[in-house]
């Protein structure tokens, strides 16, 4: 069964009752393996400010942010103790439908994605949005779900969403082969969503 890749936006890490919200939303989804990847949120913003103030190398800043995604992954795993915590792509390929998996993506980016002909750039154009899209592509996921604090304009295509800063600049390219993308406002108790289907 094809997995569902779910990116939990870093802006949601300060959301009251986050674990309960995630559990309630997951319970409403069709059956299948659920792979969760947490964004960097305010931790990544610290690196962004240091990059601007201290003129850090952009690639070095990228990998610092990737390491911080390991911290937010561990945080999410502690909030959801019923979930498995994975660090390798092969662990995800055998994920069970009955147990969500929180994924730390550093090994995937440094080793698995690096071996493909078009690895993700190590720049600010790539954030956890594009990393989740790339993971969904590599796993042949049934869909990519972006859990956010708000919804995009329903008229936007992927390029317009990136231009508006709703997703990162590389996302239109990273997600171009995905059949189905869902945006969900997890802060809203009703979990409103917008479904985007690539032509």
Helices and strands, counts by H and E, the chain? 8, 7
For every residue of 58-72, DSSP letters joined together read: HHHHHHHHHHHHHHH
Token pair for residue 132?
A: 């989740």
Q: What is the predicted pLDDT for the residue at 36?
A: 98
Q: What is the predicted pLDDT for the residue at 177?
A: 93
Who contacts 17 (Cβ-Cβ below 8 Å, separation ≥6)?
none
Quote the pTM value: 0.96
Q: What is the predicted pLDDT for the residue at 52?
A: 84
Place of tokens 């913003």: 45
Q: What is the predicted pLDDT for the residue at 72?
A: 97
Query: pLDDT of 56-103, one tens digit each?
Result: 899 999 999 999 999 999 999 999 999 999 999 999 988 888 899 999
* H-assigned helices in 28-148: 41-54, 58-79, 89-93, 106-107, 128-138
Distance of alpha carbon 41 from the chain centroid: 11
Q: What is the predicted pLDDT for the residue at 199?
A: 67
**pLDDT tens across the length of the chain (199 residues):** 899 999 999 999 999 999 999 999 999 999 999 999 999 999 888 988 988 888 889 999 999 999 999 999 999 999 999 999 999 999 998 888 889 999 999 999 999 999 988 999 999 999 999 999 999 999 999 999 999 999 999 999 999 999 999 999 999 999 999 999 999 999 999 999 999 987 6
Overall residue count recorded for the chain in this entry = 199
Torsions phi, psi for 147 (to 5 deg): -85, 120
């Amino acid at each position: 069964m094809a997995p569902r890749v779910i990116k939990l936006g870093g802006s949601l890490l300060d959301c009251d009752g986050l674990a309960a919200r995630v559990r309630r939303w997951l319970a409403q989804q069709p059956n299948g393996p659920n792979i969760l990847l947490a964004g960097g949120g305010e931790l990544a913003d610290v690196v962004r400010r240091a990059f601007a103030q201290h003129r850090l190398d952009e690639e070095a800043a990228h990998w610092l942010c990737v390491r911080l995604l390991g911290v937010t992954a561990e945080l999410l795993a502690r909030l959801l103790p019923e979930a498995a915590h994975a660090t390798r792509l092969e662990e995800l390929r055998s994920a069970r439908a009955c147990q969500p998996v929180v994924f730390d993506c550093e090994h995937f980016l440094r080793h698995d994605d690096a071996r493909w002909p078009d690895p993700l750039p190590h720049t600010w154009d790539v954030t956890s949005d594009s990393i989740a899209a790339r993971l969904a592509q590599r796993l042949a996921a049934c869909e990519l779900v972006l859990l956010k604090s708000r919804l995009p304009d329903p008229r936007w295509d992927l390029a317009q969403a990136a231009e508006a800063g709703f997703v990162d600049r590389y996302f239109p390219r990273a997600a171009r082969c995905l059949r189905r993308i869902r945006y969900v406002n997890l802060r809203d108790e009703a979990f409103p969503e917008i479904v985007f289907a690539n032509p």
